[in-house]
Amino acid sequence: MESLLTGGLMDWLGAHQQWLGLAIFLIALLESLAIAGLLVPGIVLLLATTAMAGSSGMPLSTVLAAAFAGAVIGDLMSFALGRLFHQDIKRLRLFKRHPQWIQRGEAFFQRHGMLSILLGRFIGPIRPIIPMVAGMFDMPTGRFVAINLLSAIAWAPAYVLPGFLAGQATKWPVPEHFWLQAFGLLSASALLLTALILILRLQTRWSSLVAAMLCLCALAGMNLLEGHLHVVALTFTQWLQAHQWPFVLALLPLASPVFPVVVLLLALVSLLQAKQLRLMSMPLCACLMTSLTGLSVGLEMITLSASIAVSLNISLLVLINRGFDFWTRVGWMTAAIPLAGLIIILLAKLGTPLITLLNLGLVSITAALLSVWMVERAFALPTLTNSLRTSLLLLPLLAWSSLHLF
């Protein structure tokens, strides 16, 4: 049934590409809507339509705007549904048949509070349920709208870019050996990520150190194999330079050496106000370890400051995710992807080679892991309050907006 729906819709959109923007909007809306989001294969449809949009030449800004608007409106409709019917919504036949859906959503909302709106957008089956549950629990509308907008800003690029870039890739005039090198690089990255998750899942006192050493080995291997990746690196640079990204100018503050300094100062102030003095060692240690690791591999100032910003963000997310089970903590760490992705896009547009960007990412992860290991040897990281979690989570956005305005 799902394949018939997906195939039929894709065939129709292929013949009527002028409706692609509206289709992306409606799919994002349905995927975010309670009940419908549980039944419609939204992610599959979204990947397919964004890939078609990328291959058809539709502007990325239009695709992002359509997905963002659909996600926001879908969540608002779900919230209104919960606010209007409250507990009576459990009487619907679908929820009588599957009461565990609402039960999981309620448990998640009660545990994470308003952060569940941000986290829930990225967590499979409960994703369309959380806004409805927030309405059922009478969450203040203004607070819900603010978190809803913030989460959609992170969600839209994360779910749109893979399909859109894959669609554009079908039109690339790629040279010989490109796909071989690209597949090798992606396979190595997937193996590294899998190994890191398996090591960290052991949750021993040495897990972070072993994971950091593995990243250092990957960093050394990357530099040794640089000559074997010249085709994919050159093609990547040429492709980025050939495309216009209207939002890049707005990202310029992220490349400023002042950006990580502002984030660090805001983090220290937040922890000081919360009387979590010992936790101030985590962001400080992350900045120090990133500086030492980055300088040792020859990162220049602009890439070093960007690496510090990414590592600092990861270290703050480590503080935020304490007190949760392993896979929830992994979910928290995905919040580092939007900032890291935007920084990489910006630096790539400024002419930074692909290998340097990969080194930047590995340095950031290595430094963050070393910082976690060093701090956890000194004391156990406590569970933070929801208000402090929210404050730390929003610091990069606050720092960027401050620098963007001034």
| Residues 123 and 193 occupy one common structural domain | no
Tens of pLDDT, residues 159-193: 888 888 778 777 766 677 777 888 888 889 989 99
- 129 and 204 in a single domain? The answer is no
Q: Among the listed ranges 17-26, 73-82, 217-226, which one has the minimum average pLDDT value?
A: 17-26
Last residue of a domain, one of 101, 122, 153: 153
Residue 166 lies in a domain: no
Residue 56 lies in a domain: yes
144, 181: one domain: no
Are residue 131 and residue 187 in the same domain, yes or no?
Answer: no
Q: For residue 215, tell me if it sits in a domain.
A: yes
Residues near 139 by beta carbon (within 8 Å), at least 6 away in sequence? 79, 114
- Verify that 52 and 181 share a domain, yes or no: no
Q: How many domains does the chain have?
A: 2
The answer to whether residues 322 and 204 belong to one domain is yes
CA quadruple 58, 61, 64, 66: dihedral positive or negative? negative
Tell which of 153, 183, 200 closes a domain.
153
Last residue of a domain, one of 119, 153, 187: 153
Q: Exposed, middle or buried by CB within 10 Å (0-12, 13-18, 19+), for 183? A: exposed
Instruction: Assess whether 32 and 149 both reside in one domain.
Output: yes
**Is a pLDDT exceeding 90 seen at residue 387?**
no
| Alpha-carbon span 364 to 340, nearest angstrom | 10
pLDDT band at 2 (very low <50, low <70, confident <90, very high): very low
Token pair belonging to 388: 């402090």
Instruction: Assess whether 63 and 188 both reside in one domain.
Output: no
What local confidence, expressed as pLDDT, does residue 166 receive? 76
84 and 226 inside one domain: no
The Cα 21–Cα 33 span in angstroms is 18
From residue 168, give the alpha-carbon distance in Å to each of 3, 83, 174, 368, 405.
23, 41, 12, 34, 33
Please, how many CA atoms are within 13 Å of residue 262, restricted to the half-sphere of its CB?
20
pLDDT in tens, 308-366: 999 999 999 999 988 888 877 887 888 888 889 889 888 988 888 889 999 999 999 99
Q: Residue 325: its pLDDT value, please? A: 80
Q: Is the pLDDT of residue 5 over 50?
A: no
In a domain, 38, yes or no: yes
Evaluate if residue 15 carries a pLDDT over 70: no
- Residue 159 included in any domain: no
One domain for residues 197 and 110: no
186 and 129 both lie in a single domain: no
Q: What is the pLDDT of residues 271-281, one digit of tens each?
A: 999 999 999 99
Residue 162 within a domain: no
The domain in which residue 48 lies consists of 2-153
CA dist., res. 314 & res. 367, Å (int): 10
Residues 96-154 have pLDDT tens digits of 777 777 788 888 887 777 777 777 777 666 777 888 888 888 888 888 888 888 888 88
* Whole-number pLDDT of residue 13: 63
What Cα–Cα distance (Å) separates residue 364 from each residue in 235, 263, 311? 25, 15, 4
For residue 236, tell me if it sits in a domain.
Answer: yes
pLDDT at 239 exceeding the cut of 50: yes
Domain assignment of residue 160, yes or no: no
In terms of C-beta distances under 8 Å and separation of at least 24 residues, what long-range contacts does 288-293 make, across chains too?
Answer: 289/366, 289/367, 289/368, 289/370, 289/371, 289/374, 290/363, 290/364, 290/367, 290/368, 292/367, 293/363, 293/366, 293/367, 293/370
Q: What is the mean pLDDT of residues 56-76?
A: 88
| Confidence grade of residue 93 (pLDDT, cut at 50, 70, 90) | confident
Give me the amino acid identity at 264: L
CA distances from 166 to 55, 83, 148, 163, 175 (A): 8, 39, 27, 5, 17
Measured torsion, CA atoms of residues 42, 43, 46, 52, in degrees rounded to the nearest 10: -130
| 49 closest CA partner among 149, 159, 123, 155 | 159
**Residue 193 sits in the same domain as residue 136:** no
